[in-house]
Structure 1
Amino acid sequence: MRVMKWSMIALAVAAGTSQMAIASSQDESKGFLEDSKLNVKTRMLYFSRDFRNNDRDEDGNRQSRREETGLGFLGTYESGFTQGTVGVGVDAIGMLGLKLDSGKGRSGTGLFPTGSDGRSQDDYSKGGAAAKFRISDTVLKVGDQFTALPVFATDDSRLLPEIAQGALLTSNEIKGLTVHAGRFTSLTAQEETNRDSFRLKEADVFGGTYAFTDSLSTSLYYSKVEDYWRKYYANVNWALPISDKQGLVFDFNIYDTKSDGRGLVRADKDGTTKLDNRAFSLSGAYNIGAHTFTLAYQRVTGDGQYGYGVDGGGTVFLANSIARSDFNAEDEKSWQARYDLNFAEFGIPGLTFMTRYARGTGANTDVTNNGKEWERDIDIKYVLQEGPAKDLSLRVRQATYRSSDNVYGSPSLDELRLIVEYPLSIL
């Protein structure tokens, strides 16, 4: 368990050197109310998934199209910390989702809870709170929270995000080193209000990130999800400047996953498929002025697909996990070509464009052997830079997916998302 040994050494060094720090975050605390922040983000989302005249969706249900529109409100309050050696604070989350358009034959987009009659609810709400404690540059947060760890990351790809319940310790005592240790006991899905949406019993996470220089960093994490799996994760990211307007960025990610306990694969499935696999990706990006060109390669080896979900819908830090497919089936090999354009270089700040193509081969699933799949995505986003509606963003995301072998459960689909977001800072 090299990751745990490495992180414990880092913590010991942090404890021995923290007294040498000139000023910590807690020393600079202004107070519980004085450092408070209150933000509200409004999101309107139109979601359409067309199964291309197929009378069944990817789950085998008789449905050829999913199409819904919703309006979501996400409010977050973050207090400051009380002054003193141990700072105390509170964070709170409040969310509301409203259905603007739907229908019994078009539900199931993941925007709203679905009733027994197959219809989406008109509205739903969820929220929570967490207590937080800070000593020097180390924070312990206990309660409801969002997470972005490579082995436990909440998802925010629909109307309202997932919320994790548990405890997370974050330490920044050494310059360049961030250490995490946590335990989570439940997870609320994006379209659900039930705190135990994924039937998560317990997930323990440990690890950290260290920046050797401004251009070179590495991460190492470990997690164990009871009755599902244990994971190791490693990352190396290297940015290589060439000139003022040119540069290269290389990024390597790898997961080692092995079944634990009952070996469940997903939160809503009682099957016991054993996992013992490695999933890795390597990408290289070349930036020149407004243009960025990226190539990526990804592969899964061993038994079973790369599994995630019960440990957060965003826990897939792999290059070819894109809009529709993750290209993470057993034995699958995939590559990706991507192009990004930033219009700020042409006098239109806030406007960006992205397109990519990914192709996978050799995928083994329950329904196919040596399967093939491909996906093409287009993403256009504009953020207002000034005026009364400053920071309002308009985004169009389109995905085309095809598979002659039903790798993803559906031979083909076209997906369209129209997203309008407006973040408002009240405090």
Structure 2
Amino acid sequence: MTIPLQRLSAGDGSNTKYNSIYGIQMTKYKLSAIALALMTSAPALAASQADSNGFVEDSSLDLFLRNAYMNRDYKHGAQDKVEWGQGAVLTFNSGFTQGAVGFGVDAFGMYGLRLDSGNGRAGAGGIDFFMIDNNGDVERDMAHAGAAVKARFSKTVLAYGDQRPVLPVLSHDDSRLLPEAYTGTMITSNEIDGLTVHAGRFHAQHRKSDAGRDSGGLNSIEVLGGSYQFNDNIHAALYASDVEDVLKRQYANLNYIRPLNGGDTLTLGFSGYRTKQDKEWDGAGDRNNLWSLSANYATGSHDFTLAYQRSSGDTGYNYGFYQNQGAVGDGGTTIWVANSFWSDFNAKDERSWQVGYGLDFAEYGIPGLSYNVAYIRGTDIDDGTGRGDGTEREFFNQLKYVVQNGAAKDLSVRLRSSNLRVSNNASNYNSDGNEVRIFVDFPMNIF
């Protein structure tokens, strides 16, 4: 059985797994940034419990504001989608009490207000800022709050409650107005220098567009794995997950960064998934292998990327939440491979190539301004209709500016566009069109 990948949460694009707050493809740094994401995916850690200054002394309160607009102009008669909203996320992270075992609390509250959408342009199957209610109307706003208790011994933290994991097999979606959250238990250990280990079980998923604590329909997901920084140049990761009655997945990653003369760097990366779907979910127990190889050369303010990605097996790569197919349950950005933009180039049998370029304007007197462009082409797509090999191609542009100082320091404005074209014999896998995103993000530290 081949499940067509008509995705709700896919196409977040642009490797949000490496920078989930800003949703930008960091071509110059994205491979080495995997290590940072893996080591910061649980409650904030001090060096060890011995360094604790106290519950209050090490606490922080942060406010994150996001004004987000997305417009998808679909071709061939598909309904266009437009949503615009204002979101706010308040996050409190306590320190740990002093003693051999420290205790603390993390909490968050989020609110989203719809500024524009309607007339069939929002809701399921579209951008997914807000849900459609029982009367067929788009929700005017959405609020959700959560908290987790945590305990630390030495360099190991145990947390239970509402969390936002950032792991290659369970990556919460923060590519829309408000982020996803999961309820469950996570252990994060850094007892060995360079090694970060995660183990967890989550039993509820809060969707990014719905206030319900278990709105994702998740039974449970178990995760286990770790990452290791061998030295300044080599980083590796291995992870596995089991989504109850849905699928089992394994992930492997290896990055190598080679410094060159004059401060230039060459970064090589491999990322790959192996997935076996449960018969309870798809009726057949289909398998998929998805992997990518990438090379990035950075020199001065410029960086250049080449990448190849391959999907093989009985079906395409399934993740996130799928309309009319039930929840996969592992997060809307759980696809840590090179060619993830608006399309994720993850169809059955698909092969895709990317050429990308990034420019940092700091050397030209405009610090904080950056530009990224990429062209990706996918071939050999089997959309399950027997019409032959399909193709898709995407042209991606993004301009971003981050305020460097003053009262608005760290405020960012991101302008992004994608042009996606899909051949007729791949239309059961994906829809083509033009997309525009305008995100204004303002992170603020209150204390």
Task: Determine if the alignment matches structure 1 residue 391 to structure 2 residue 410.
Answer: yes
Asked if 1:174 corresponds to 2:192, the answer is yes
Query: What is the TM-score when the length of structure 1 is the normalising length?
Result: 0.88
1:145 aligns with 2:163: yes
Report the equivalent of 1:25. 48
Identify which range, 403-412 or 367-376, moves more after superposition.
403-412
Shift of 1:410: 5.0
What residue is the counterpart of 1:337 in the other structure?
A: 355
Per-residue deviation, 1:273:
4.9
Instruction: Tell whether 2:115 aligns with 1:100.
Output: yes
Matching residue within 40, 50, 53 for 2:73: 50
Match for residue 399 of structure 2?
Answer: 380
Q: Unaligned regions of 5+ residues in structure 2, if any?
A: 1-45, 321-328
Deviations 1:381-421 (A, max 9, x none): 00110111111111101011101134465542100011111
TM-score with structure 2 setting the length: 0.85
In structure 2, relative to structure 1, the CA distance for the partners of 1:328 and 1:125 (3 Å cut) is same
| 1:182-221 paired onto structure 2 within 5 Å | 182-221=200-239
Give the Cα separation in 1 of the matches to 2:47 and 2:181.
Answer: 29
Pick from 81, 88, 92: which aligns with 1:66? 81
Question: How far apart are residue 165 of structure 1 and its match?
Answer: 0.9
CA contact 1:372–1:407 (8 Å) conserved in 2? no
Counting aligned pairs with the same residue, the percent is 47
Which secondary structure does the structure 1 equivalent of 2:50 belong to? coil
CA distance in 1, matches of 2:429, 2:74: 11
Aligned to 1:305: 316
Give the C-alpha shift of residue 243 in structure 1.
2.2
Q: In the alignment, what sits opposite 2:371?
A: 353
Structure 1 Cα separation of the partners of residues 128 and 428 of structure 2: 17
* Distance (Å, rounded) in 1 between the aligned partners of 2:397 and 2:359: 12
CA distance in 1, matches of 2:207, 2:388: 31
Residue 365 to residue 161, structure 1, CA distance change in 2 (3 Å): same
Post-superposition Cα deviations, 1:301-358, rounded to whole Å, max 9, x if no partner, equal 1111112112111111111111x11111111111111100001111211000000011
1:81-100 alignment runs, 5 A limit: 81-100=96-115
Q: CA deviation at 1:105?
A: 2.7
CA offsets per residue over residues 345-386 of structure 1, 9 Å max, x none?
112110000000111111112345411111111011001101
Change (3 A) 1:214 1:408: farther
Q: Does 1:295 align with 2:316?
A: no
Instruction: Determine if the alignment matches structure 1 residue 425 to structure 2 residue 445.
Output: yes
- Structure 2 CA distance for aligned equivalents of residues 410 and 172 of structure 1: 41
Partners of 1:376 and 1:326 in 2: CA distance: 13
Secondary structure at the counterpart of residue 105 of structure 1: coil
Aligned length: 389
Check whether the contact 2:67–2:440 (CA below 8 A) recurs between aligned residues.
yes
Q: Secondary structure at the match of 2:260?
A: strand
Could you tell me which of 434, 437, 444 is aligned with 1:414?
Answer: 434
What is the CA deviation profile of residues 268-323 of structure 1, one whole-angstrom value per residue up to 9, with x for unaligned ones?
xxx5353212111000000010000000000011111112112111111111111x
Map of 1:250-329 to 2, 5 A cutoff?
Answer: 250-260=268-278, 262=280, 264=281, 271-309=282-320, 310-322=329-341, 324-329=342-347
Q: Which SS does the other structure have where 1:213 is aligned?
A: coil
Cα deviation digits, residues 247-282 of structure 1 (max 9, x gap): 1001101111112351x2xxxxxx535321211100
Deviation at 1:203, TM superposition (A): 0.9
CA contact (8 A) 1:43 1:421 kept: yes
Q: Contact 2:278 / 2:284 at 8 angstroms: preserved in 1?
A: no
User: CA contact under 8 A between 1:104 and 1:118: conserved in structure 2?
Assistant: no
Q: Aligned partners of 1:272 and 1:318: how far apart in 2?
A: 27
Q: CA 1:409/1:363 → structure 2, altered by over 3 Å: closer, same or farther?
A: closer
- Which is bigger in relative contact order (C-alpha 8 A, separation at least 6)? 2
Hey, what does 1:11 align to over in structure 2? none
- The alignment partner of 1:106 has SS state of coil
User: Mean alpha-carbon deviation: is it higher for 253-262 or for 372-381?
Assistant: 253-262
Distance 1:345 1:186, change over 3 A: same
Return closer, same or farther for 1:273/1:161 CA change in 2, 3 Å cut-off.
Answer: farther
Of 237, 241, 245, 2:259 maps to: 241
Question: Structure 1: how far apart are the matches of 2:122 and 2:220?
Answer: 31
Inter-partner Cα distance in structure 1 for 2:61 and 2:146: 15
When Rg is computed on C-alpha atoms for both structures, the one with the higher figure is: 1
For residue 222 of structure 1, report the CA deviation from its aligned partner. Answer: 1.2
Distance in 2, matches of 1:45 and 1:133, equals 36
SS state at 1:104 partner: coil
Q: Secondary structure at the match of 2:363?
A: helix
CA distance in 2 between partners of 1:164 and 1:335 (Å):
34
